[in-house]
Amino acid sequence: MKKENTNHTDEKLGALLRESRVSPALPPRFQENVWRRIEDAEAPAKSGSGIAWLEALVALMLRPRFACATVAALMVCGILLGAHSGAQIARHDAEARYVASVSPDSVR
Amino acid sequence: MNRPLVIFLGVLVLGAAIFTGSYFAGERACANMMGGKDDLSWLQTEFHLSDTEMARVRQLHEGYLPQCMKMCAKIAAKKDEIAAALANGTNVTAEVQMKLTELGELRAQCQAQMLQHFVDVSRAMPPEEGRRYLAEMERITIGFDGDEQTMSPSAHGNN
């Protein structure tokens, strides 16, 4: 009997509390402001996307394995191209030396 | 400037320096290695001569050099004579004209001798290489590649 009375009182109290809860009016242009704040929060991420790929590239470049491979590739390419050019120079010099030996400038 | 960009540019500069350094090191090493002191080394590599052909070419070359030097000495002496004759006056005298003609004749003799040497050398080579050698030497020494067109009357104008 006593328990029933207590439950009843709790329900009444709960209803009273729900009614007494004040729901304040939203400030003017609340929705617009919310969207603006969301856009502002996303904006730096968009403008920073150019730096993001550069950061990723730099991070890749600074990886020891990638850096070593790149240096090795650059050296090999440089030496091969240089050797090709050196061979051309040597060939040209040898030709000039032979021509000078058989045909001095005074004759030409 | 932000940090990733500075690092990126630094890496690019370093890469360019490594490539350039390797390029010039390779070029110098190869030029030094392939550039021998022998005047005839070019013939062997360019015209793919065997050792036997090369020995014959060398013999011809050594036979030709004293004749060439003799002609060069004559040409140099004639040039000195012309210089002396020109130094004595301000006009192109009959003596200077005669010496210029003699110089021209000496040069012509020298060129004929040189061309004969090229023909002899070309015969010591395989036929196709010999033809290529002769054409190349005529082009380089006599200028049989159309260079004389710049000396033609039309090139000089008719005024």
Measured in angstroms, the CA of B129 and the nearest CA of chain A are apart by 15
| pLDDT tens figures, A67-76 | 999 999 999 9
DSSP assigned state of B22: H
A71 plus A99 within the same structural domain: yes
Interface check for B144 against chain A (CB to CB < 8 A): the answer is no
The answer to whether the Cβ–Cβ distance between B114 and A107 falls below 8 Å is: yes
The residue in chain A having the minimum alpha-carbon distance to the alpha carbon of residue B31 is: A86
Within this chain, do residues A52 and A70 fall inside the same structural domain, yes or no? no
Does A90 lie in the same domain as A107?
A: yes
Q: Do residues A50 and A83 share a domain?
A: no
Residue B144's pLDDT is: 65
Q: How many CB pairs under 8 A join A and B?
A: 139
Comparing A7-21, A41-55, A87-101, B9-23, the range with the smallest average pLDDT is A41-55
Number of domains composing chain A: 2
Q: Are both A69 and A93 inside the same structural domain?
A: yes
| Residue A79 falls inside a structural domain | yes
Q: Is residue A81 part of a domain?
A: yes
- A40 and A58 inside one domain: yes
pTM exceeds 0.80, yes or no: no
Tokens standing for residue B109: 């003799």
Interchain pair A87, B34: CB under 8 A:
yes
Q: Of A5-14, A33-42, B11-20, B142-151, which has the strongest mean pLDDT? A: B11-20
A86 within some domain = yes
Distance from CA of A26 to the nearest CA of B (A): 43
- For residue A82, the enclosing domain spans 64-108
Residue A55 located in a structural domain:
yes
Cβ(B107)–Cβ(B78) under 8 Å?
no
Nearest to A74 among B22, B30, B110 (CB): B22
Task: Examine residue A15 and state whether it is found in any structural domain, yes or no.
Answer: no
pLDDT attached to residue B156 = 43
pLDDT at A27 > cutoff 50: yes
Q: What is the pLDDT of residue B107?
A: 92
pLDDT value, residue A3 = 57
Q: What is the pLDDT along chain B (159 residues), one digit of tens a residue?
A: 578 889 999 999 999 999 999 999 999 999 888 877 788 888 998 999 999 999 999 999 999 999 999 999 999 999 999 998 888 777 788 888 999 999 999 999 999 999 999 999 999 999 999 999 999 999 988 876 554 444 444 444 443
Mutate to test the interface with A, among B13, B24, B42 (most CBs of A within 10 A): B42
End-to-end CA distance of chain B: 65
Nearest CA in chain B to A91: B42
Q: Long-range contact list for A45-53, CB < 8 A, 24+ apart? A: A51/B2, A51/B4
- The reply to whether ipTM tops 0.85 is no
Chain-chain contact of A98 with B43 (C-beta, under 8 angstroms): yes
pLDDT at B150: 45
Which of A55, A86, A99 comes nearest B31 by C-beta? A86
- Joined together, the tokens standing for residue A16 give 């009273």
- pLDDT tier for residue A48 given thresholds of 50, 70 and 90: low
Q: In this structure, is residue A21 part of a structural domain?
A: no
Give the model's pLDDT for residue A79.
Answer: 96
Q: Identify whether residues A70 and A100 lie together within a single domain.
A: yes
Do A92 and A54 share a structural domain? no
Report the b/e string of A69-87 with b at 16+ CB within 10 A: ebeeebbeebbeebbebbb
Task: Verify that A56 and A38 share a domain, yes or no.
Answer: yes
Quick check: is A12 in a domain? no
A58: in domain:
yes
Same domain, A46 and A71: no
> In angstroms, what separates the C-alpha of A44 from chain B's closest C-alpha?
16
Whether residues A84 and A68 share a domain: the answer is: yes
